[in-house]
Amino acid sequence: MIVEHDIVIVGGGPAGMAAAVAAYDSGVTDVVILDREPGLGGILRQCIHNGFGLHKLGRELTGPEYADAYLKEVEARGIKIYTETTVTAVSPDRVVTARNREGILKIQAGAVVLAMGCRERSRGALNISGTRPAGVYSAGTAQKLINCEGYMVGKTVVILGSGDIGLIMARRMTFEGAKVEAVCEVMPYSGGLIRNIEQCLNDFDIPLYLSTTVVEIHGKKRVEGVTIAEVDEKRRVKEETKRYIPCDTLLLSVGLIPENELTRSAGIPIDPITNGALVDENRETAVPGIFACGNVLQVHDLVDYVSDEAEIAGLGAANFVRGSKSEGASVETVPGNGVRYVLPQRVHTETGKDTALFMRVTQPFGKVRFTVKSGDEVLATAVRLKAAPGEMEKIVVKGDKLAMAKAPITVSLEVVK
Amino acid sequence: MKRELICIVCPRGCAMTVEGEKDNLTVVGNACPKGKQYAIDECTHPTRTVTSIVRVANRVDTMTSVKTEAPIPKEHIFDLLEKIRAIRVEAPVEAGTVVLPDVYGTNVVITKNVK
């Protein structure tokens, strides 16, 4: 049996919940959220540290509190929630197939919002040589074991990767009595927020070794140590810098991969840089009526921006159900000098609405000026005192300027002296 | 005295410079008043919000999370963590419930509901 719902949201983390609330509030009230976990909130449930919500909610919250703020909004609207329900397929004509203890669920959706989030890159992706002992965890797995289930994962720790989860876990492990010997980062700069280096490493005198990686894992049953080494600018190991650090645990914080299996199976084209769907300014993918938002679309640094993006997608989905989607000409957006990607990858130019472009830079810069151009027409400029790959940039193009874009929109930066 | 600091108040992470003596500090590089206050506090009496976990005694493999309602002096972080480690709660617990009142000038409260 196929049931029908106006909007089906795949994933009940921060993106899914914000999209559901936004869709409901714009007038499409037949919204359902499907999530494979026992409760909504996604990864926020294990992120017990503070620092969430300053932008979006105007107060500083922990992860569970931020999730709860949105869950209350979802529940207040009577939005239907299916937990412990795993979506197994999304078809291009918007039939969502899921399974749970009751059996198989098939829903014909008016519109679908993909909000599956991401998962962690694992040891297998890194080609680290050595044995395969217990004690190698992805940082997020360790975070869940410690914070949600109460299992301590080790006593002496080396962390590979200085993304935010790795930094947060350095402090968390220290709080739980472990000794964090080192955080190694293969790049010459950290991918994490600078405030996290300050409050998670420097506060506890945990060393951060840049241009350094783990080259071998030692130990038979349990990790006994790792060999670390510096790398040159081409990431080749400098043999003479190899050194052994005894430890019983290695945490990997080496990147997040948007979880896009459902997206691909629906035939939705993926951007090879973001590893998320190609979308327009409403976060609609190339398959009509299927939208994407949050970390499944692009990996964000702040949940506040996930919520913002999800509201765009939720409203887009509601408008699609109402039959009022963006019409008229559209152009592609293209990353230029110093810019790694621009999202959305396509924008409609005749909507008259101000449109925000999001982007990441290719490397750390000092003061820069961003220029948004279409052909010879400058649509927007923005100056930033500093720019780093770990921090997403946002530039708003005014509606009247957007109307002048007849050729692909390029965003590039120049260093300002 | 001259000290370089990274602000931890928000994700922007301003690089700030603090100069002067204890009662007369000047701050450069902050983008907002909160940053200035953080810089002065950091040079006079540094504080941190502490977050940790508490075991839910009547549930299997289940922890809830806690935070200090206000930042506490940095030198007391590990004393406080010891006190938090000794706490046990019983489900259902609700966010906002005080589990350790009046420690280092603030309360420790639950941040995660457990049904």
Span A57-85, average pLDDT: 96
Best A70, A144, A169, A195 residue to mutate vs chain B (most B CBs within 10 Å): A195
- Length, in residues, of chain B: 115
pTM: 0.93
pLDDT at residue B74, as a whole number = 93
| Summary mean pLDDT of chain A | 95
Nearest chain B CA: its distance from A77 CA (Å): 20
Q: Do A50 and B51 touch (CB under 8 A)?
A: yes
Residue A85, pLDDT above cutoff 80: yes
pLDDT at residue A402, as a whole number = 95
What's the rounded Cα separation, in Å, for the pair B113 and A340? 40
Say what the ipTM of the complex is. 0.90
Q: Where are the domains of chain B?
A: 2-44, 51-110
What's the rounded Cα separation, in Å, for the pair B84 and B81? 5
What does the block give as tokens for A114?
């993909």
Q: Do A68 and B62 touch (CB under 8 A)?
A: no
What's the rounded Cα separation, in Å, for the pair A157 and A176? 12
Span A29-40, average pLDDT: 96
Q: Tens digit of pLDDT for each residue in A239-297?
A: 999 999 999 999 999 999 999 999 999 999 999 999 999 999 999 999 999 999 999 99
Span A382-396, average pLDDT: 91
Nearest chain B CA: its distance from A198 CA (Å): 7
B51-110 fold = CPE0013-like fold (3.10.530)
What does the block give as tokens for A86?
């795993």
Q: Does B11 touch chain A (CB under 8 A)?
A: yes
Question: Which positions in chain B touch A198 (Cβ < 8 Å)?
Answer: 5-6, 8, 13
pLDDT at residue B8, as a whole number = 83
What's the rounded Cα separation, in Å, for the pair A226 and A244? 6
Q: pLDDT band for position A8 (50/70/90)?
A: very high
- Length, in residues, of chain A: 417
Q: Does B57 touch chain A (CB under 8 A)?
A: no
pLDDT at residue A326, as a whole number = 77
Q: pLDDT band for position B14 (50/70/90)?
A: confident
What's the rounded Cα separation, in Å, for the pair A82 and A341? 35
What does the block give as tokens for A95?
């039939």
Interface of B with A in 18-47 (CB under 8 A): none
Q: Tens digit of pLDDT for each residue in B46-97?
A: 899 999 999 999 999 999 999 999 999 999 999 999 999 999 999 999 999 9
Question: Which positions in chain A touch B88 (Cβ < 8 Å)?
Answer: none
Instruction: Give kind and range of the element (H or E) at residue B77.
Output: helix B77-85
Q: Which of A51, A65, A148 sits opposite B111 (nearest CB)?
A: A65
Buried b / exposed e over A270-299, threshold 16 CB at 10 Å, is bbeebbbbbbbbbbbbbbebbbbbbbbbbb
Question: Which positions in chain A touch B11 (Cβ < 8 Å)?
Answer: 51, 54, 193, 195, 301-302, 391
pLDDT at residue A151, as a whole number = 96
Question: Which positions in chain A touch B74 (Cβ < 8 Å)?
Answer: 203
Q: Do A62 and B74 touch (CB under 8 A)?
A: no
Residue A325, pLDDT above cutoff 80: no
User: Where is average pLDDT lowest: A21-35, A164-178, A240-254, B19-33?
Assistant: B19-33
pLDDT at residue A105, as a whole number = 96
Nearest chain A CA: its distance from B64 CA (Å): 7
Q: Do A198 and B95 touch (CB under 8 A)?
A: no
CA distances from A222 to A122, A127, A172, A198, A356 (A): 18, 19, 21, 31, 49
Report the 3 state secondary structure along B16-44.
EEEEEECCEEEEECCCCHHHHHHHHHHHH
Span A20-34, average pLDDT: 98
The number of helix segments (H) and strand segments (E) in chain A equals: 8, 28
**Residue among A156, A127, A121 nearest A140 (CA):** A121
Question: CB under 8 Å to A254, separation ≥6 — which residues?
Answer: A120, A121, A125, A126, A160, A161, A163
pLDDT at residue B45, as a whole number = 87
pLDDT at residue A324, as a whole number = 84
Q: Does A75 touch chain B (CB under 8 A)?
A: no
pLDDT at residue B12, as a whole number = 77
User: Where is average pLDDT lowest: A165-169, B32-36, B84-88?
Assistant: B32-36
What's the rounded Cα separation, in Å, for the pair A133 and A411? 46
Q: Does A148 touch chain B (CB under 8 A)?
A: yes
pLDDT at residue B23, as a whole number = 78
Q: Give the position of tokens 């005192």.
A: A385
Question: Which positions in chain A touch B8 (Cβ < 8 Å)?
Answer: 195, 198-199
Question: CB under 8 Å to A403, separation ≥6 — which residues?
Answer: A349, A350, A352
